[in-house]
Amino acid sequence: MEKDDQRNFILAMVLMIAVVFGYQKFFLEPAQKRYEAEQAAIEASKQAEAPETGPAAASSAAKVLPLSEALAADERVAIDGAAVDGSIRLAGARIDDVSLKDNYRTVEKTEEVRLFRPENSEYGYFATYYWADGQTLVAGRNSPWTLVSGDTLSSGSSVTLRLEGNDVTIERTISLDEHYMFTFTDTVTNNSDAPKSLRAIGAIQRLGEYKAYLEETDPGQTARGIAHEGLMGWTGGELRLRKFGPLMKLKKIKGETADGKFPSDVGGWWGLSDKYFLGALIPQQDLHFDGMVDKRKIAAGANDLDLRTESAALDVAPGASVTMENRIFAGAKRYQVLKDYQAGGIPSFVDAIDWGFFFFLTKPFFFVLEWLSGVLGSFGWAILALTVLVKAPLVPLYNQSYKSMAKMKKLQEPTAEIRERFKADPQRQQQEIMKLYKEEGANPLGGCLPILATIPVFFALYKMLSVTIEMRHTAFLWMKDLSAPDPTAIGNLFGLLPWAASDVKSIPIIGMVIGIGILPLLYGATMSALQTLSPPPPDPMQRRMIQLMPLIFMFLFGTFASGLVMYWVWSNTLSFIQQYAIMRMNGVETEIGKFVKKLVSGGAKASS
């Protein structure tokens, strides 16, 4: 390989390492450090400054009660659905107590994920629909609804509430499907002798510091920054996104009008998305609505998020009634569930999952992976099978690449002779080497082509395994969670000692070494084995850089989802088998072959 070609190859390797390592080092890890610094600054500010006053700070300054006391402070209707449980606060007809069945905070699966919480508890998070007559609320945040029928909201049994006052009667039937969708069917009657212009106003609010809420809901979650977390909605035929950080800094959002609205002609949704969970307002889909973010509280220094949807006004004559159906989604972002809702008329609801820049690969990969898991009965085996399917179309490309590498390996000695013979004439040296390559049909850069093809595949798989809840807490072999790093480490004797790998890794300096688990070690080993099949660069410095790559990636992959590292180990193993076979067919002796031959001959001599 010529010096220019060597330089280009090394540059490509370094750039690939920089992209993978840089994203982890400079985007994901600093996010946690910024969070810790922000928390410390918030606490210091609270101690140094006087308490905030005024309506904007009211919710943040309200007394926070333990969850059990907050729930007991109000009259409630129980929720016991197929996928959720909790309760509805009658005051305001507010859904503010929702836990997700079969979704747990930790891998031990002892406590359900609590998505919604009462306003007067820590990390309040709730949703409902108000009604307004012009500028006057006729059903507000604390309106005294009464229970008319039903005692428990379940997937097969609805409850009916009633509110009377302000010359209107509202009868609200709340139903719950087998998943996470609450439906509010409101019949509003005008009891006055004058026409009314009535609007339904959806409200979803989350109180307090958002990072603390995320950690409380889904503790210890890795790769937090890779998935979109923040405002998410579909209005005006487009997906609207703004992460929590910029949202709290009042950054302008694409599609926002001068008066702070996000108009939607018909159809859409509006809510707050976490990595795996979503709370969203879904107004009646055949009516115009505006999405809004109330920025007044944020501007006043509160950490509260208040999102609204506002329907078009409905003119109701005296004595007449109007019925509207609005929905609230409060649950896990499971693909099949979102897909069914989208098929039922909610536009682009599957895009509540952050498929990423390589969505054209991420989505098909997930579809195939989910299908394979159904066939094989395990996401772990499905990942191994997917590896084969992903590599299959690239076999011709790899074959050409490996044939080129085999030729280059055979030409190592003739190339070295030419370099030595024309050592004083670099130009003649290059001409002779290129002539040799042409005669033998060798391409010095042919071995790099598969790397270019696998980079998008790597990032698409990384995204898919990191953001799809189907991977969360899914066990395979010794791995308790395919979406989390390998739970084994050198420091805990690969799981034999009762120390968590995360604790081992947290040990200063030495933790970086003894925190390496089985999968990253296997990755380093398989990558090193692959290197023995490739012709090494003649330059000693470049050769050392190439030899260090398995070590660098071994430490880097130690922080990645174990499902992804398992994919890569298996992919390396398949590549090694394929490349070794091609080398042998082309008559090239490999370092592995020499080693095996030495072992066999040594054993034969010993036996004789």
Dihedral over Cα of 469, 475, 476, 478: its sign: positive
Check whether residue 185 and residue 106 sit in a common domain.
yes
Residue 26: other Cβ atoms inside 10 A: 11
Burial classification of residue 223, based on how many CB atoms lie within 10 Å of its CB (0-12 exposed, 13-18 middle, 19 or more buried):
buried
Helix and strand counts by DSSP (H, E) for the chain: 20, 21
Q: Which two tokens stand for residue 185?
A: 């069917």
Cβ proximity of 580 and 533 under 8 Å:
yes
Domain-ending residue, one of 354, 382, 402: 354
Cβ proximity of 339 and 323 under 8 Å:
no
Instruction: Answer yes or no: is 546 within a domain.
Output: yes
Long-range contacts for 39-44 (Cβ within 8 Å, ≥24 apart)? 39/209, 39/211, 39/212, 42/209
When pLDDT is cut at 50, 70 and 90, the band that residue 30 belongs to is low
- Order of strands, edge to edge, in the sheet holding 277-282? 146-149, 159-165, 168-176, 181-190, 321-332, 277-282, 269-273, 230-235, 238-243
Domain-ending residue, one of 354, 383, 401: 354
pLDDT at 57 over 70: no
When pLDDT is cut at 50, 70 and 90, the band that residue 346 belongs to is very high
Q: Which two tokens stand for residue 152?
A: 């428990």
Cβ proximity of 9 and 448 under 8 Å:
yes
Check whether residue 285 and residue 382 sit in a common domain.
no
Domain-ending residue, one of 354, 376, 406: 354
Cβ proximity of 271 and 351 under 8 Å:
no
Lowest mean pLDDT among 302-306, 487-491, 603-607: 603-607
**Domain CATH for 130:** 2.70.98.90
Instruction: Answer yes or no: is 504 within a domain.
Output: no
Q: What does the chain come to in residues?
A: 608
Instruction: Answer yes or no: is 431 within a domain.
Output: yes
What crossing angle do the helices spanning 3-23 and 540-557 adopt, rounded to 10°?
20
* DSSP string across 278-338: EEEEE--TTS-EEEEE--HHHHTT---EEEEEEEPPEEE-TT-EEEEEEEEEEEE--HHHH
Check whether residue 376 and residue 343 sit in a common domain.
no
Lowest mean pLDDT among 93-102, 188-197, 509-518: 509-518
What are the CA-CA distances from residue 215 to residues 185, 273, 304, 327 (Å)? Answer: 34, 14, 17, 27
Structurally, how many domains does the chain consist of? 2
Q: Work out whether strand 269-273 and strand 314-316 pair parallel, antiparallel, or are unpaired.
A: unpaired
Condensed to tens digits (0 to 9), the pLDDT of residues 389-403 reads 888 877 776 666 666
| Cα-based angle 527, 528, 530 (whole degrees, multiple of 5) | 65
Check whether residue 344 and residue 371 sit in a common domain.
no
pLDDT at 335 over 50: yes
Q: What is the pLDDT of residue 60?
A: 43
Lowest mean pLDDT among 55-59, 93-97, 137-141, 419-423: 55-59
Domain that holds residue 188: 50-354
What are the CA-CA distances from residue 397 to residues 390, 392, 447, 484 (Å)? Answer: 13, 10, 10, 32
pLDDT at 447 over 60: no
Q: What is the pLDDT of residue 400?
A: 67
Check whether residue 152 and residue 238 sit in a common domain.
yes
What are the CA-CA distances from residue 555 to residues 16, 307, 469 (Å)? Answer: 15, 42, 26
Q: What is the pLDDT of residue 443?
A: 62
Query: Distance between CA atoms of 521 and 475, rounded to whole angstroms?
Result: 20
Q: Which two tokens stand for residue 521?
A: 């070690």
Instruction: Answer yes or no: is 189 within a domain.
Output: yes
pLDDT at 55 over 60: no
Instruction: Reduce the DSSP state of residue 422 to 3 states and report it.
Output: coil
Dihedral over Cα of 527, 530, 536, 537: its sign: negative
Check whether residue 166 and residue 299 sit in a common domain.
yes
Check whether residue 167 and residue 132 sit in a common domain.
yes
Cβ proximity of 115 and 277 under 8 Å:
yes
Check whether residue 449 and residue 525 sit in a common domain.
yes
Q: What is the pLDDT of residue 330?
A: 97
When pLDDT is cut at 50, 70 and 90, the band that residue 575 belongs to is confident
Which of 435, 548, 421 is closest to 2 using CA atoms?
435
pLDDT at 492 over 70: yes
Condensed to tens digits (0 to 9), the pLDDT of residues 512-564 reads 778 888 999 999 999 888 877 776 666 667 667 777 888 888 888 887 888 88
Dihedral over Cα of 45, 50, 54, 57: its sign: positive
Mean pLDDT across 408-427: 74
Cβ contacts of 523 within 8 Å, gap of 6 or more = 550, 553, 554, 557, 565, 568, 569, 572
Instruction: Answer yes or no: is 32 within a domain.
Output: no
When pLDDT is cut at 50, 70 and 90, the band that residue 84 belongs to is very high
Check whether residue 164 and residue 287 sit in a common domain.
yes
Instruction: Answer yes or no: is 360 within a domain.
Output: no
pLDDT at 47 over 60: no
Q: Which residues of 427-462 are buried (b: 16+ CB within 10 A; e: fewer)?
A: eebbebbeeebeeeebbbebbbbbeeebeebbbbbb
What are the CA-CA distances from residue 325 to residues 16, 129, 173, 188, 336 (Å)? Answer: 51, 10, 10, 11, 23
Mean pLDDT across 109-133: 94
Check whether residue 69 and residue 95 sit in a common domain.
yes
Query: Distance between CA atoms of 466 and 483, rounded to whole angstroms?
Result: 6
Instruction: Answer yes or no: is 511 within a domain.
Output: no
Residue 565: other Cβ atoms inside 10 A: 27
Check whether residue 420 and residue 332 sit in a common domain.
no
Residue at token pair 């010794």? 478
Highest mean pLDDT: which of 39-43, 141-145, 582-586? 141-145
pLDDT at 130 over 90: yes
Instruction: Answer yes or no: is 592 within a domain.
Output: yes
Check whether residue 349 and residue 376 sit in a common domain.
no
Q: What is the pLDDT of residue 56?
A: 39
